[in-house]
Amino acid sequence: MNITVENLAPCKKLVRVELDVTAVDAAFDAVTKDYQKQASLPGFRPGKAPRDAVVKKYGTEIKEEVKRKLIGDGYRQAIEDKKLQVVGYPDIEEIQFGRGQVLQFAATVETAPEFELPEYKGLPASVEAKTTTDADVERALDMLRGQQATFNTAARPLANGDVAVVNYTGTCDGQAITELAPTAKGLTEQKGFWVETTGNFIPGFAEQLIGASAGDKRTVNVDFPADFVTKELQGKKGVYEVELVEVKEKVLPELNDELAKKFGAEDLAKLQAGVRTDLENELKYSRSKSIRGQVIKALLDKVAFDLPETAVAQETRNVVFDLVQQNTKRGVARELIEQQKDEIYTAAAGSAKERVKFSFLVNRIADLEKIQATQEDAIRRAQSLAMMYQMPIEQFLKDLQKRNGVNELYEQVISEKVMELLEKNAAVTETTPAQ
């Protein structure tokens, strides 16, 4: 077998394979004999039909099977001999094939990038030296009390901490808001809408209602923030004609054993202990996430190399799908998603390149550190994902197998183990929390 490799572009190669006539004819003979053993032709006992009769009836099938076998075996042998790390599937072009002929074919392949792995231990990260305080626990308990709050009608002016029940209509630049943002019907007109004075409906909206009584009408002017959720209103000014229908006073329940039981705790002490544990776990998770994000960025900045186009394109599609799914779950209208498709694709492409680049770095580190994923690791990962997606584990595994995604579990486990290694060996600097 004669094999040559030609560089077409970074991470792209053309592999030419040539197999001599003897090997080609031997493959034809071997496949033909297999067909003879299995062929059942009129006038002959099964497996006893003469070669010529078998070739006459099954010639096309024999030729296709030989071609498939020789090209498949030849391709695998070429990749192994030339030690190529192929990414994705080859694009194979048949040049010459037939009985009594030299087999020639070419395979265009994308390969893993070549790069020198930078130092990955001791990467810098900075985090605030935070601890869970009694005040943090108290604030969290107040939030739990808020979930059990009652709202009583109050015959007095609206004050901080109250809820205003309002009717309103809104305009922007003298037009109904829906003329600028067709999907923002809720921002244009509402009746019986509850606005918390301590909430975040539209910045500056509720504050202008303080002191008003039921039946009062006010004109409220707002500035939509530059990062407002409705893109068409970002940075613009809005004017609302508001009628205060009712003042609701928010009444929090007492912090006692009875409240604790509503949240599944035996008593108040157990609830406080559980809240503290949850806050400490959140702090650990936040710290870990911050360190990992900084370490990933530091590692990516340490090395530059070309990426396989197909891998980036596939990952871009994955990121776009994830972004669309997230926006859909948040209630963003399909029309708005369609309007923003160019921005979504641009953001996805940049994210995909970083993810593909990091995956090559992870694989190289895993090889060097001899990090592997066991079947038990993959099962635990599957159980965790099934729980997160609220699916029975059997259904999750079945869906995974349908889309040939089992290898993803092993890749995710290896990636997590590499991240644990990077985090454990990071050079972490603790700073004083901002006051």
Burial class (CB in 10 A: 0-12, 13-18, 19+), 363: middle
Q: Is residue 142 part of a domain?
A: no
CA-CA distances (angstroms) from residue 293 to 65, 113, 286, 299, 364?
A: 51, 23, 11, 10, 19
What backbone phi and psi angles, to 5 degrees, belong to 32? -60, -40
Domain boundary at 63, 81, 111, which? Answer: 111
Confidence of residue 435 (pLDDT cuts 50, 70, 90): low
- Looking at residue 402, what is its pLDDT? 84
Helix (H, G, I), strand (E, B) or coil at 327: helix
Q: What is the rounded average pLDDT of the residues 61-90?
A: 94
- Looking at residue 344, what is its pLDDT? 82
Based on C-alpha coordinates, what's the Rg of the chain? Answer: 33
Q: What is the rounded average pLDDT of the residues 260-277?
A: 96
Q: Is residue 140 part of a domain?
A: no
Do 331 and 195 sit in the same domain of this protein?
no
Do 314 and 425 sit in the same domain of this protein?
yes
Q: Say what percent of the chain tops pLDDT 70.
A: 99
DSSP for 156-189 reads: S---TT-EEEEEEEEEETTEEHHHH-TT-HHHHE
Do 299 and 231 sit in the same domain of this protein?
no
Q: What is the DSSP letter of 64?
A: H
- Looking at residue 95, what is its pLDDT? 84
CATH number at residue 166: 3.10.50.40
Do 286 and 424 sit in the same domain of this protein?
yes
Strand 237-251 and strand 150-153: pairing?
A: antiparallel
Q: Which two tokens stand for residue 172?
A: 């922007």
Do 285 and 406 sit in the same domain of this protein?
yes
CATH number at residue 314: 1.10.3120.10
Confidence of residue 62 (pLDDT cuts 50, 70, 90): very high
Do 236 and 367 sit in the same domain of this protein?
no
Do 301 and 395 sit in the same domain of this protein?
yes
Do 230 and 329 sit in the same domain of this protein?
no
Q: Which two tokens stand for residue 401?
A: 């197998």
Please give the residue range of the domain that contains residue 15: 2-111
Q: Is residue 267 part of a domain?
A: no
Q: Is residue 155 part of a domain?
A: yes
Do 307 and 371 sit in the same domain of this protein?
yes
Domain boundary at 96, 111, 126, which? Answer: 111
Question: How many CA atoms within 13 Å lie on the side-chain side of 318?
Answer: 11
Confidence of residue 334 (pLDDT cuts 50, 70, 90): confident
Helix (H, G, I), strand (E, B) or coil at 148: coil
Question: To the nearest whole number, what is the mean pLDDT of the chain?
Answer: 92
pLDDT tens, position by position, 179-223: 988 888 899 999 999 999 988 899 999 999 999 999 999 999 999
Q: Which run of H or of E encompasses 127?
A: strand 124-128
Total of domains in the chain? 3
* Least confident piece of the model among 204-208, 351-355, 388-392, 424-428: 388-392
Do 28 and 104 sit in the same domain of this protein?
yes
Residue where the block lists tokens 């409705």? 230
Domain boundary at 203, 235, 251, which? Answer: 251
- Looking at residue 362, what is its pLDDT? 96
Do 427 and 301 sit in the same domain of this protein?
yes
CATH number at residue 64: 3.30.70.1050
Q: Is residue 205 part of a domain?
A: yes
Do 335 and 427 sit in the same domain of this protein?
yes
Q: Is residue 345 part of a domain?
A: yes
| CA 76, chain centre distance (Å) | 32
Q: Is residue 72 part of a domain?
A: yes
Look at 347 and 216; give whichever has higher pLDDT.
216
CB 257 within 8 A of CB 267: yes
Q: What is the rounded average pLDDT of the residues 409-426?
A: 96
